[in-house]
Each structure stands twice: as structure tokens, then as C-alpha cells.
């Protein structure tokens, strides 16, 4: 699997912010400050809940990074911690919502704080899972020829997330094996004739 380099991801994020700052500077703040339209009937309220979550993500990552920095010869433990950090970051709502809103601005759409998509039938559905959020980000980044959607698509590995989150993997010195379809306990049942 080809993962994007951290420098590629940084460059894509900087590019997105720069495009909004240069083209729509008056809209930039609306992509960064979470507005809740439902907490008080008919009123817009700034909510700090996503900020608290983001603080926790940073604290979590930094705490485990300090553990990683202290590990010398235990590659298996390093890999387990790195996978845990990856899953934790990739499940976070706020970073995806900010990227989505920045892209919405560039596509001349209003910022929204309920991450959603519109089906072909016109039904509005909330994007609850990273895969859905990344697909929406990809959809909005393509017309503007921005790489952020493509890079997130390369970065997201639902099979890795599912294997780790459901303890359905085995770690060897050189690779991680997803065991869901290998174990008779978790494998999809065969259909009766």
C-alpha cells in the first residue's frame, strides 16, 4: 500500500488554506468555528465541544508519541501504538469537518457543521464514518484540482481500522495480517443451499 508522505499531506492542507485565504478571506473563519444550529431553537451558537475533542486528540497523540520516543527495540509495541494513534486520528470528526468546510467555501457553498451528503434522490444523510467523509472531501476537491481528497483516500484504510478496532489481526515481525476472514469465529457464515 502506498501511503502519502507527511510532507505531501502538509502541502495539500496548506494549499487548501491558502486557496480559501486568497480567494475568500472573509469566509475562512466560518470554516474553523463550529456553529450549532440545533442546541437552541432558532439560534446559532458557537460550540466548543469539537475544540475539546481536538485538544484531547492532540494530548493523546503527544502522550503516545513520548512513549514511542522512549521505545528502543520493541518494534511490535511501536507498531501497535502507531496503529492505535492512526485509528484515533482517522476517526476524529473535527479535522474532516474543517477540510470539508474549506472545500465547500471554494465550491461556493455555505459552511455546515453537520457533516452530510446528498444522495442521488436528494436525501440528506449524515456522514458518520471516515469513509463517507473522505468521499465527500474527494468529491469537493476534484473540481478545484486539489490533492487533499486524493491523499486522504490513500491514507484511509478501513480494513486496518476494522482489524485493529475489533482485535481481528495478528502482528508479525514484518507485517500485519487481518484475520477476520481467516478465523472461523469472525468469518462471514456460509449461506445454506
Specify the pLDDT at position 40: 63
Answer yes or no: is 1 within a domain: no
Q: How far apart are CA 26 and CA 164, in angstroms?
A: 42
Same domain, yes or no: 131 and 79: yes
Indicate whether 18 belongs to any domain.
yes
Decide if 167 contacts 178 (C-beta within 8 A). Answer: no
3-class SS at 55? helix
Q: What is the pTM of this model?
A: 0.85
What pLDDT, in 10s, does the model give residues 130-165? Answer: 999 999 999 999 999 999 999 999 999 887 777 777
Number of domains in the chain: 2
Task: Say yes or no: 139 and 179 in one domain.
Answer: no
Distance of CA 152 to the CA centre of its chain: 8
Average pLDDT, the chain: 88
Query: What residue numbers bound the domain in which 148 lies?
Result: 6-156
Residue 161 in domain: no
| Same domain, residue pair 121 and 188 | no
Q: Are 102 and 124 within one domain? A: yes
For residues 145 and 176, state if they share a domain: no
Could you tell me what percent of the chain has a pLDDT over 90? 61
Q: What is the pLDDT of residues 70-114, one digit of tens each?
A: 888 888 889 889 989 999 999 999 999 999 999 999 999 999 999
**Are 192 and 139 found together in one domain?**
no
pLDDT tens, 108-137? Answer: 999 999 999 999 999 999 999 999 999 999
Question: Cell for 183?
Answer: 478465523
Amino acid at each position: 500500500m502506498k501511503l502519502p508522505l507527511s510532507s505531501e499531506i502538509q502541502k495539500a492542507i496548506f494549499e487548501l488554506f491558502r486557496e480559501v485565504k486568497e480567494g475568500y478571506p472573509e469566509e475562512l473563519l466560518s470554516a474553523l468555528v463550529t456553529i450549532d444550529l440545533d442546541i437552541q431553537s432558532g439560534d446559532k451558537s458557537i460550540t466548543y465541544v469539537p475544540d475539546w475533542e481536538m485538544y484531547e486528540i492532540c494530548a493523546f497523540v503527544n502522550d503516545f508519541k513520548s512513549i514511542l520516543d522512549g521505545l528502543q527495540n520493541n518494534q511490535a509495541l511501536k507498531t501497535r501504538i502507531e496503529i492505535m494513534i492512526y485509528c484515533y486520528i482517522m476517526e476524529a470528526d473535527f479535522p474532516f469537518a474543517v477540510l470539508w468546510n474549506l472545500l465547500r467555501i471554494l465550491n461556493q457553498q455555505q459552511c455546515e457543521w453537520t457533516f452530510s451528503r446528498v444522495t442521488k434522490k436528494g436525501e440528506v444523510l449524515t456522514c458518520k464514518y471516515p469513509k463517507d467523509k473522505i468521499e465527500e472531501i474527494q468529491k469537493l476537491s476534484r473540481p478545484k484540482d486539489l490533492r487533499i481528497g486524493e491523499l486522504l483516500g490513500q491514507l484511509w484504510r478501513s480494513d486496518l481500522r476494522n482489524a485493529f478496532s475489533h482485535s481481528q489481526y495478528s502482528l508479525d515481525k514484518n507485517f500485519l495480517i487481518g484475520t477476520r476472514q481467516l478465523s472461523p469465529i469472525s468469518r462471514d457464515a456460509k449461506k445454506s443451499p
